[in-house]
Amino acid sequence: MDASRQLQRLTSGFQVTQAVHVAAALRLSDLLAEGPKTAAELAELTSSDQVALGRLLRALTALGLYEAADGRYQNTSLGDALRTDAPQSIAGWARYIGQGSQWQAYGALEHSVRTGETAFSSVHGESLWSYRDKHPAERELFDAAMVAISKTQADAIAAAYDFGRFPTVVDVGGGRGLLLGTILARYSSVEGVLFDQPAVVAEAVVGCRVVGGSFFEAVPEGSLHLLKSVLHDWADAEAIAILRSVRRAMPSDGRLLILEQLLDQAPDPLRTAFTDLNMLVMTGGLERTTDEYRTLLAGADLELTQTIPTSSDMFVLEATPA
């Protein structure tokens, strides 16, 4: 394909995002998992316009999500990954990323690039976090999307580090507890504590102690603390404040594991570069290099002791009190 056509395809990425988003919102893959269906049947089941839905199905078929035979559509393996019951379902993420608040924020990427400001806050007049507090349905969508996206990472992290040495593992900003649940299932002697905002831990999917609060104030004590996909949400000053809260809750021989992608060691540089852009637009955070994490840790009297790759895109950065 020549360069112009290739570039033209890249500029159509926004259409692909929306097409997959609508497929997820209408739960087309779930409906097709029950058996092949015509556009008319799907339109009836989703209360959609038959002709318009047929046009969307044609586009999704060209993208490889569905295949058509005798006027009936069925899932391909790509389409199956959009089923809500798929082992690592992308349905939640597709629904979240294509809906109003996220979509509008990404439309202001140019503003972020010109000013360095967080597009989400400029567009919505408040941070992603306070916006989510006021829009529980969106928070629900995001938390569920994180659970689905975190599944592969959680298995890889639990296998990459010996969590069994620690009596108490505290997952700080642990969401609904998918990672902690994966660790507790693998290391039966470990006691877990899930810590996140009260509204988030209220929906915990793990059976262990749960504590609601803010990591800018205090976090529960334990022998091992985890921060997965938390520091990348924040600029340096806030990230150091979070690390200081964790440091105060650590014994002198305690360990902290930062679980993040690394810009300097990314197995999939495209994904990590775009996660970083996502942080620019949505939260004001950033992806970092190993050295940048080392510097952040030093700002909270912590020292980087090991960097361990996992079979996912996440790395385990182990730290101890300096």
Catalytic residues, by residue number, are 232
**Residue 303 dihedral angles phi and psi, to the nearest 5°:** -125, 135
Helices (H) and strands (E) in the chain, counts: 17, 9
Is 197 near ligand SAM (CB under 6 A)? yes
Query: What residues between 77 and 136 interact with ligand SAM by CB under 6 A?
Result: 129
Number of residues that bind ligand SAM (CB under 6 A): 16
Distance from C-alpha of 39 to C-alpha of 37, rounded to nearest angstrom? 7
Closer to ligand SAM by CB, 42 or 257: give it: 257
Q: How many angstroms separate the Cα of 202 from the Cα of each of 169, 229, 282?
A: 19, 20, 24
Is 166 near ligand SAM (CB under 6 A)? no
β-bridge pairing 224-228 and 255-260: parallel
Q: Write down the least CB distance from residue 225 to ligand SAM, Å.
A: 12
Closer to ligand SAM by CB, 173 or 254: give it: 173
Q: How many angstroms separate the Cα of 149 from the Cα of each of 141, 200, 312?
A: 12, 17, 11
Which of the ranges 101-109, 116-124, 194-202, 296-304 carries the binding residues for ligand SAM, by CB under 6 A? 194-202
Is 181 near ligand SAM (CB under 6 A)? no
Is 196 near ligand SAM (CB under 6 A)? yes
Distance from C-alpha of 145 to C-alpha of 130, rounded to nearest angstrom? 19
Is 200 near ligand SAM (CB under 6 A)? yes
Is 146 near ligand SAM (CB under 6 A)? yes
Q: Write down the least CB distance from residue 49 to ligand SAM, Å.
A: 36
x-or-dash pattern for ligand SAM, window 224-243, by CB under 6 A? ----xxx--x----------
> Look-up: residue for tokens 């942080």?
279
How many other C-beta atoms are found inside a 10 Å radius of the C-beta of residue 220?
A: 17
For ligand SAM, the binding residue among 92, 173, 181, 222 (CB under 6 A) is 173
Name which of 243, 262, 268 is nearest 254 in CA terms: 243
- Contact residues toward ligand SAM (CB under 6 A) are 129, 146, 150, 173-175, 196-197, 200, 214-216, 228-230, 233
